[in-house]
Amino acid sequence: MKSHQAIRTAPAPDSAVVRGPDEVEVRLRVNGTTRRMFIEPRVSLLDALRDRLDLHGTKKGCNQGACGACTVWVDRRRVLACLTLAISCENREITTIEGLAEGDTLHPMQQAFLDADAFQCGYCTPGQIMSAVALLTEGHARDDDEIKEWMSGNLCRCAAYPHIRRAIRRVRDEQGGERASH
């Protein structure tokens, strides 16, 4: 009997691009860096971020646009990445939770979420934070009722809502009003 040896192939160089017959080239500008990839036109922004760019901060919750865990910004506006085609974001600025901090310095909303204990399991936290920062930028944080309304697309199964609102109020108050900037 002959022994079977595994056939080893040399790893493809980093510059090698493997693409399928239905894939198209897409350039996405994510957190200030342009990234090139080949994807099928039907790939969601969420799957492109997580599976192709290894940005796992944006969470896949319901994958139906109902929970808000996948909230990111496209051109500084909140979008649900699970319902957005990646190809539609070409030549637009995408910001994920990884793009909020500046080096080791957390964004004020990230710090406020820590300080206010505004998370339990943490799964929804990236989407909550992205929406919370946008909420302040949009000027929708006059009171708790308005915060509830404008954050209603972001669900928290652990029911940390009072803590989330506390974190938002804290950043609002520290930044001098209902409108804050990124």
For residue 36, the enclosing domain spans 24-99
Q: Is residue 17 included in any domain, yes or no?
A: no
Is the predicted pLDDT of residue 162 greater than 60, yes or no?
yes
Q: Is residue 15 included in any domain, yes or no?
A: no
Q: State the greatest distance between any 2 C-alpha atoms of the chain, in Å, as a whole number.
A: 80
Same-domain check for residues 41 and 74: yes
Domain boundary among 64, 79, 99: 99
Same-domain check for residues 65 and 95: yes
Dump pLDDT digits (tens) for 50-74: 999 999 999 999 999 999 999 999 9
Domain boundary among 51, 82, 99: 99
Same-domain check for residues 93 and 119: no
- The domain total for the chain is 2
Query: At 8, is the pLDDT very low, low, confident or very high (cuts 50, 70, 90)?
Result: very low
Average pLDDT over every residue of 99-119 = 96
DSSP 44: B
Return the structure tokens found at 169. 């109020």
Is the predicted pLDDT of residue 78 greater than 90, yes or no?
yes
Q: Is residue 1 included in any domain, yes or no?
A: no
What pTM did the predictor assign?
0.85
Query: At 177, is the pLDDT very low, low, confident or very high (cuts 50, 70, 90)?
Result: low
Sheet of 93-95, strands arranged across: 33-39, 24-30, 93-95, 71-74, 77-80
Is the predicted pLDDT of residue 117 greater than 80, yes or no?
yes
Same-domain check for residues 82 and 30: yes
Q: Is residue 181 included in any domain, yes or no?
A: no
Return the structure tokens found at 130. 């992205």
Same-domain check for residues 74 and 134: no
CATH number of the domain at 72, please.
3.10.20.30
**Which residues are paired to 60 by β-bridges?**
none
**Which residues are paired to 71 by β-bridges?**
80
Q: Is residue 94 included in any domain, yes or no?
A: yes
Q: Is residue 12 included in any domain, yes or no?
A: no
Same-domain check for residues 86 and 126: no
Predicted pLDDT of residue 111: 97
Q: Is residue 14 included in any domain, yes or no?
A: no
Domain boundary among 48, 64, 99: 99
